[in-house]
Structure 1
Amino acid sequence: MKPIKKSLLVAYLLVVILHLYAIIVGDESIVRFTKPILMPLLLAFVMRSLPSTAYRLPLLMGLFFSWLGDILLMHQTDNSLFFVFGLSAFLIAHIAYVWAYAKAQGKSGIPSVYKLGVSLVFLGYAGFFVYQLWADLGEMRIPVTLYALVISAMLSAAAFRLKATTAESFRWVLLGALCFALSDSLLAVNKFSEAIPNASFLIMLTYTLAQGAIAWGMIKYQNYDDAKRVL
């Protein structure tokens, strides 16, 4: 790994640690300073690590709209509309990730029954989750339902890459997708249903792990591209 790329990755990890530490000790000034620079660091790392490929643009879009969502959600206590706008930004980010996953894969040869089963599992989780929160969602029922459906699509798209990429790329991207869903689930329960102990820490821990794992896994798809060119 070249020095600049390594420095950007290290910087991201260090800011993640500082951000999580600030949450633990309750230093809101550091939290508000570190959160807006997390995604730009990861975005810069991806830009330095990936050539101009078909999946580079949607991956960068996913990171950009995630950053926009981070900024908007930081102001949700000032105006409830910021939560809706933040949710919309993350919805676009997930759609961009679905696009990126579809571009960063070859022919898998996995049976259709696997894809159907995976889709039903993730769709079932989304449906069950929304059902559990339904009574508490109020006017957010439709936006949250739509968001849950997009999350299930993002999870399915990550799982569909089985045997269509390197094992390393598949595992990292799927881990990232699962952590993203977990982070969003924690956020939704904490906001709409009941307070979760150490919610902010757990949400950001799973979120930063998710974004880092997705970016790393997508970068590792280059190994699959290189192998195809050799063959």
Structure 2
Amino acid sequence: MRKVLLTLITVIGLIYIFLIPEEPVGFKIAMKLVPMILIILYGATNTSRVSSLYKKTILVGLVVSMVADAAIYWFMAGLATFFVAHLFYIFAFRTASRKSIPLFAAIPLILYGLFMVIWIAVPQMASGELLLGMAIIAYILVLLVMGWVAIRTRLPLVIIGSLLFICSDSFLAIDRFVIELPARDALIMITYYAAQVFFAASIQSRLNLLPQYDTTLNRI
């Protein structure tokens, strides 16, 4: 069953990305949601090896993300809804966090966040779009927290999914606010759908219960 769902997710996702026209918008949105419905079903069919709470929270995050997929056509509404979805993912990943991670591991995420704030959010505020700029900063922050908590789980599927989500949102932000990207839909949606599949698949992950670091200096 799960293999069938993965095949359907891949096929319908590619059909949406490469074959579905922009108009009519209602049909475009409907086709965009079909892979997410299948991803939710895929997650629901996976046996939880982390915890039942983890599975339930991931599934709620997927459902909220699906709502955000439709709301993103009204950008601020979509941004706010994805913000909420990331809060569910953060909560889920925190329930699976079993390892202390050295502080230096967060440096790439921090540098990325600062770069995106300077490149995208600051110019929006400088042009008078203060609310939009602040919303972008808040979203970057929650995205980075999601990525960091994902790394702390040390679950490969979660980490890969979070990095793919960050890539997808980065492509979307660059295309919308900086420069139009070639193959925009493919870049954004392939990484996005893949991220959600990895999150759904992570429900089956086994926690690695290795001893934690003894020093408190490296904890974050």
**8 A contact 1:61–1:96 mirrored in 2:** yes
Alpha-carbon distance between aligned partners in 1 of 2:4 and 2:197, rounded to the nearest angstrom: 14
The equivalent of 2:174 in structure 1 is 189
Asked if 1:144 is matched to 2:136, the reply is yes
Percent identity among equivalent residues?
27
Asked if 1:220 is matched to 2:219, the reply is no
Identify which of 70, 76, 87 aligns with 1:84.
76
- Secondary structure of 1:144's counterpart equals helix
* TM-superposed deviation, 1:48: 1.7
Letter in 2 for 1:50: T
- Cα deviation, 1:42-99, whole Å, max 9, x if unaligned, reads 11111121357020121011101110110112xx3xxxxx211100111111111111
Alpha-carbon distance between aligned partners in 2 of 1:182 and 1:224, rounded to the nearest angstrom: 25
Equivalent pairs, count? 199
**8 A contact 1:180–1:207 mirrored in 2:** yes
The equivalent of 2:157 in structure 1 is 172
Alpha-carbon distance between aligned partners in 2 of 1:126 and 1:66, rounded to the nearest angstrom: 22
Written as runs of structure 1 = structure 2, the 5 A alignment for 1:1-231 is: 3=1, 5-22=2-19, 26=21, 28=23, 31-51=28-48, 53-73=52-72, 76=73, 82-105=74-97, 107-108=98-99, 110=100, 114=102, 116-133=103-120, 134-136=122-124, 138-139=129-130, 140-162=132-154, 170-216=155-201, 218-221=202-205, 223-224=206-207
**8 A contact 1:8–1:45 mirrored in 2:** yes
Q: As a proportion of its length, which structure holds more helix?
A: 1
Letter in 1 for 2:69: D
- Secondary structure of 1:195's counterpart equals coil
* TM-superposed deviation, 1:36: 1.5
Alpha-carbon distance between aligned partners in 2 of 1:200 and 1:136, rounded to the nearest angstrom: 23
Question: Structure 2 stretches of 5 or more lacking a match?
Answer: 209-220
- Cα deviation, 1:164-219, whole Å, max 9, x if unaligned, reads xxxxxx22211111110011011111111111112122111111111112221x22
**8 A contact 1:94–1:151 mirrored in 2:** yes
Letter in 2 for 1:209: A
**8 A contact 2:58–2:88 mirrored in 1:** yes
Question: Structure 1 stretches of 5 or more lacking a match?
Answer: 77-81, 163-169, 226-231
Alpha-carbon distance between aligned partners in 1 of 2:138 and 2:64, rounded to the nearest angstrom: 17
Q: Cα RMSD between the aligned structures?
A: 2.1
Letter in 2 for 1:62: G
The equivalent of 1:166 in structure 2 is none
Alpha-carbon distance between aligned partners in 1 of 2:166 and 2:135, rounded to the nearest angstrom: 16
* TM-superposed deviation, 1:28: 4.7
Runs ≥4 in structure 1, deviation > 6 angstroms? none
Letter in 1 for 2:111: G
**8 A contact 2:89–2:146 mirrored in 1:** yes
Larger RCO: Structure 1 or Structure 2 (Cα < 8 Å, ≥ 6 residues apart)?
2
Letter in 1 for 2:53: A
Letter in 1 for 2:133: R
